[in-house]
A = this chain, B = another copy of it.
Amino acid sequence: MNLQKILKDYKKNKVSLKQLINFLSQLPYKKLKHSTLDIHRQLRRGVPEIVYCSGKTPQQILNILNTLYTQHKFAIGTRLDKQKYEEIKNKLPNHTYYDVAKIIYVGKKPKQKIGNILVITAGTSDIPIAEEAAVFCELLGNKVNRVYDVGVAGIHRVVEVIPYINKAKVIIVVAGMDGVLPSVIGGLSKVPVIAVPTSVGYGASFKGLSALLTMLNSCAPGVCVVNIDNGFGAGYIASIINKQSK
């Protein structure tokens, strides 16, 4: 660290008091930057920097992924359309593309799978958002169970999920239309439930608003909510909770 050096130089009169104070006046920013970077490095042990590919050109995505890969030996991109992927796939190093989840992983995938995250969907149309969450969690080294198309209209399907619920450290429930499922799962679970409303539906579903409101008003405590269609956000927080669980 150059701070030590400059302090010693100052003592040796190689650096004047004025020069030293001038140097120190820059410290708040530098120091803070350093410490937040430090936080970030810790964070990265759990969750790496992610590229949100929607709205970026293939060339931009390619550059950012390569840069991140060079720095960290891996890189993750979300919301990468198949079409854009096709344009860049040959210019990328060793990688995997998940087309339902629309996620790309560049680098060697983590082997270890710790904890237990359960990802549930109400319908089949909720699966792409659920996969965004599930694949993302797996790529961060979490063990993931999937139970899709549970619905709520047939309560027997819900009952079948109970054994999976009992094993989970955290549960992600993805649902559109009436957004009822997180309340039902929350009532059966003793671990945190991350509810993800989806924009699936028509009429008064208002692109996920109806499901969002249902989830926010959930009568089952232990349910919190992320933005509509935000599979990535749900996966991120689920991964944090899972990894810090006993």
Q: Which residues of A approach B to under 8 Å, CB–CB?
A: 3-4, 7-8, 10-11, 17, 20-21, 24-25, 27-29, 31-33, 35-37, 39-40, 42-43, 46-47, 50, 54-56, 122-125, 151-156, 158-160, 162, 166, 169, 177-180, 183-184, 186-192, 194, 197, 199-206, 208-230, 232-234, 236-237, 240-241, 244-246
Contact = CB atoms under 8 A, between A and B. Distances in A.
Given A47-B221, A55-B125, 19 more contacts: A28-B28, A29-B160, A36-B154, A39-B188, A47-B222, A55-B200, A152-B184, A180-B219, A190-B240, A191-B244, A192-B240, A203-B212, A203-B216, A203-B227, A203-B230, A204-B216, A217-B227, A224-B224, A245-B246
29 contacts: A7-B10, A7-B20, A8-B17, A11-B11, A28-B35, A29-B156, A32-B155, A33-B160, A39-B188, A39-B190, A42-B190, A151-B219, A152-B180, A152-B187, A169-B244, A192-B237, A199-B203, A202-B229, A204-B212, A204-B227, A204-B228, A205-B227, A210-B216, A211-B217, A213-B214, A224-B234, A241-B241, A241-B244, A246-B246
Nearest to A213: B210
A153 to B, nearest CB: 3
A101 to B, nearest CB: 16
Contacts of A8: 17
A204 B184 contact: no
A21 B4 CA distance: 8
Copies of this protein in the complex: 8
Nearest to A188: B155
A186 B228 CA distance: 19
A46 B236 CA distance: 24
A216 to B, nearest CB: 4
Given A236-B222, A246-B244, A214 B156 contact: no
Q: Which of A29, A151, A180, A211 has most B Cβ within 10 Å?
A: A180
B216 A124 contact: no
Contacts of A178: 179-180, 183, 214-215, 217-219
Contacts of A32: 28, 32, 155-156, 159
